[in-house]
Amino acid sequence: MDISKIGVVGAGQMGNGIAHVMALAGYEVRLSDVSPEALDKAMTLIAANMDRQVSRGKIAQEDRDGALSRISSTLDIAEIGQTDLVIEAATEQETVKQKIFDSLAPHLLPHTILTSNTSSISITRLASRTDRPEKFLGFHFMNPVPVMQLVELIRGIATDQETYQACMKVVENLGKTAASAEDFPAFIVNRILVPMINEAVYTLYEGVGNVRSIDMAMKLGANHPMGPLELADFIGLDTCLAIMNVLHDGLADTKYRPCPLLTKYVEAGWLGRKTKRGFYDYRGEEPVPTR
């Protein structure tokens, strides 16, 4: 099928990045959120990020102008339903995602493909709540979307081949690479990455090393571009905890037990960069370790 109009639900970090790359690839994009402030912030951020790409010679000024003209924002979920492909990019809570797909149901075109940017939740279960499980796919972008080259495509048990191929073509048009994953908790990237972060938090919790030494060890000793605790702050500690809980509940293996210290930070509201405090304190000129 030919996809030209794309609806993105959720104007946060992932949603605005998805809208950004889709518009640059020539798609008409409708970006939706329940918050008008979030939409305004997203549109401003997309323009600023594209300006940065122009200044670095990554894209031409006319590409930037054309892409921005293809993005519109809306508070009306019905407008999102009138697209060829919907990408849900709301917070990593299954009840929130279910409500979004329920609200979309009366407004969808017969051919509309539904996808979720979830990083861990069952695609089969999300799809089963809709009227088109065969046209439902996991469409998992990496953060930051304009920079990262990978997209995970996750088929639910009912997803048909036509839907998968249509989304694969979109990934190719974006100039990105698709990795096909089976529908098991956290898929490929987060199944491997987030338990590593959780183990780094245990290493901190048990006093094996402090924040700075753990991050330095993995950057210089394993050649990671970012230490695991620094990366956790970038992802969001609430998201890391949510993924660990999905792994622990879904696979029933004690090796996926979330570290109590990770839970404590989330309970404190210290979620990382987005709240200015996590394993580092970002309120000053330079990040300072909190332990």
Q: What is the pLDDT of residues 233-243, one digit of tens each?
A: 999 999 999 99
User: Known catalytic residue: 248?
Assistant: no
Residue 36 backbone phi and psi in degrees, to 5: -65, -30
Given the residues 122, 152, 230, 248, the one annotated as active site: 152
Quote the pLDDT of residue 37: 96
14 is known to lie in a ligand binding site? yes
Q: What's the CATH number for 3-180?
A: 3.40.50.720
Q: Provide mean pLDDT across the span 137-161.
A: 96
pLDDT of 162-184, one tens digit each? 999 999 999 999 999 999 999 99
Active-site entry in 190, 198, 230, 248: 190
* C-beta of residue 281 within 8 angstroms of C-beta of residue 268: no
pLDDT tens digits for range 53-89: 999 999 999 999 999 999 999 999 999 999 999 999 9
15 annotated to bind ligand: yes
Q: Looking at the chain, which residues constitute the CATH 3.40.50.720 domain(s)?
A: 3-180
The whole-angstrom separation of Cα 112 and Cα 104 is 11
Level-2 CATH architecture, domain 187-287: Orthogonal Bundle (1.10)
The amino acid occupying position 80 is I
**Predicted confidence (pLDDT) at residue 92 exceeds the cutoff of 90:** no
**Contacts (Cβ under 8 Å, ≥6 apart) of 181:** 138, 140, 152, 153, 154, 187, 188
Residue 152 designated active-site: yes
User: Which among 32, 116, 122, 140 is annotated as catalytic?
Assistant: 140
107 catalytically annotated? no
Confidence of residue 208 (pLDDT cuts 50, 70, 90): very high
The pLDDT assigned to 146 comes to: 95
Q: What is the mean pLDDT of residues 185-210?
A: 97
92 is in an annotated binding site: yes
Is 33 labelled as part of a ligand binding site? yes
Identity of the amino acid at 85: L
pLDDT for 1 beyond 80: no
Q: Give catalytic status of residue 140 as yes or no.
A: yes
- Residue (of 94, 43, 47) closest to 249 by Cα position: 94
Q: Where in the chain is the domain with CATH 1.10.1040.10?
A: 187-287
